[in-house]
Structure 1
Amino acid sequence: MQATRFVVRGKVQGVFFRASARERALGLGLTGFAKNLSDGSVEVVVYGDRGAIESMEEWLRDGPEHARVDELYREELSVHELPEAFDIR
């Protein structure tokens, strides 16, 4: 089990990015959350197996229709507690 934090920068707020990320994460069997940040970026934290997280990263590089991803930051996290769902915050 792995945990990874992504920060997505570009035109990523107001384009259903968080809802689309939730749908994609659930389809991959991932849990975690997506959250708008005050600087206009979106934070996505996912928990699951490495292959699913890699697939999520590939999706995050483009995002949903109408989004424009300019930068994607990735950080590996320690797993302390495993969330049961994928939340939009």
Structure 2
Amino acid sequence: MTSIIQYKGTIKFIELEGGFYGIVTDNNLNLLPSNLTEKYRQNGAIVEFSGKEIKDIKTTQQWGTPFQINDIYLIRPGCKGDISFM
């Protein structure tokens, strides 16, 4: 059974495979959220979130660990769309 994990991280627009959103955690893990809602698709946004890794799945993005978000909280907004954020 996969346990719920809590993280803090930065949402990033990744320009691979047509572009998608990933989360880079403060401890440098790359997570590929399966259910990141439009509200949180902000490049550079800082979030706290919890959820669990999705096992036994392959993705077309081939980036990060597939992850299902249970709870998410916006700490600092980012940019909407695929605009690069420094």
Superposition TM-score tier, normalisation by shorter sequence: under 0.3
Between 1 and 2, higher relative CO (CA 8 Å, sep ≥ 6) is seen in 1
TM-score where L is the length of structure 2: 0.25
- Structure with greater strand share of residues: 2
TM-score where L is the length of structure 1: 0.25
